[in-house]
Amino acid sequence: MLIFFIVPSFAQTTPVQGSFSDLTLEISSPKQKLVQFEPMALILTLSNKTSSPIAARTSIDLSAGFVELFTIRETGEPVKIQNLSPIAGLVIVRPGIIRSGESHQTKELLTLDLDKVFPQPGTYQIQAVLRNGEGKQQVKSNLLTIHVLEPTGLDIQAFDYLKNRTNPSYFFSGLELDKTQVQMVEFVSNFRDSSYGDYAAFMLGEFYLVRKDYTRAIEQLNGVSKKPDFVYGDRALYYLVEGNARLGNWQQAGHHLDSLRASHPDSNYLERAEISMSRETKTR
């Protein structure tokens, strides 16, 4: 998928004193033990912990192309992860200023080439490198340790399904969902309680929402939205507000909006959910 967008600039009115390399880039994950082929949730945070404002022309969204990720095995050299996002962005990033004490965060889900990025069970370290606009300056993150485990129990059956009946390099990315919808529905039906189930249900729910099949979207997203450690929990709640509002289920939409406010008060999706609720209410 190819999109064109403009990344919002940072504030631009403060005199610049610091250097881009003085910024702090942190990488973390709500889940550091993964089963083979399981998508990996990442949280990237860019902060100015200095006492001076710093000029930046960059973006920590993986689709924007300014972030590189590397895997490091216990005794190996860093290996660059080639495909970070299913969305390729033609991006205009305007220069701006990151003030002292200011920070920006993004939640990402690695879904591409999971069979190649983590080819065997074992311990991996992940490091992010963020480039400034012209690529002359960069910031390196801390090392994030990830443990990739062999599947057990129901996960074995789900893993075998992914390996033998799908393309595991793309299955959870949504890139081929028009072609693999039947497989995704079957996978969710059979393996909803596996380690892979939430990702598949979210992807299927998002697919239905885009196609305005709100009833089936809600069915898939309800369970995901209740998982406190699911990286896209705020997005799932926003989708539930949108879907229920579209169907005129105002009580349910309001309930999910309240849940979004309570559990994700700083989420970018909160404003979108409030706008969606307001828009649909006006059309009643």
Residue 122 CB partners (closer than 8 Å, separation 6+): 73, 74, 147, 148
Domain boundaries, the chain: 2-149, 154-282
- Predicted TM-score (pTM) of this structure: 0.87
Residue 76 confidence class, pLDDT cut points 50, 70, 90: confident
In the predicted model, is pLDDT for residue 8 greater than 80? no
Q: What is the DSSP string of 165-227?
A: HS-TTTTTTSTTHHHHHHHHHHHHHHHTTSTTHHHHHHHHHHHHHHTT-HHHHHHHHHHHHT-
User: Angle formed by the axes of helices 233-247 and 197-210, to 10°?
Assistant: 40
Radius of gyration of the chain from Cα atoms?
20
Give the residue-averaged pLDDT of 24-49: 96
pLDDT (tens digit, 9 = 90+) per residue, 127-156?
999 999 867 899 999 999 999 999 999 999
Residue 177 confidence class, pLDDT cut points 50, 70, 90: confident
Q: What is the pLDDT of residue 18?
A: 81
**CATH fold for domain 154-282:** 1.25.40
In the predicted model, is pLDDT for residue 281 greater than 90? no
Domains 2-149 and 154-282 share a fold: no
User: Is-contact 110 39, C-beta < 8 A?
Assistant: yes
In the predicted model, is pLDDT for residue 10 greater than 90? no
Q: Which of 92-101, 148-157, 214-223, 240-249 has the lowest mean pLDDT?
A: 92-101
Residue 4 CB partners (closer than 8 Å, separation 6+): 89, 90, 91
Would you call 28 exposed, middle or buried from its count of C-beta atoms within 10 A (0-12, 13-18, 19+)? middle
What is 2-149's CATH number? 2.60.40.3880
In the predicted model, is pLDDT for residue 126 greater than 60? yes
How do 2-7 and 88-93 pair as beta strands?
parallel
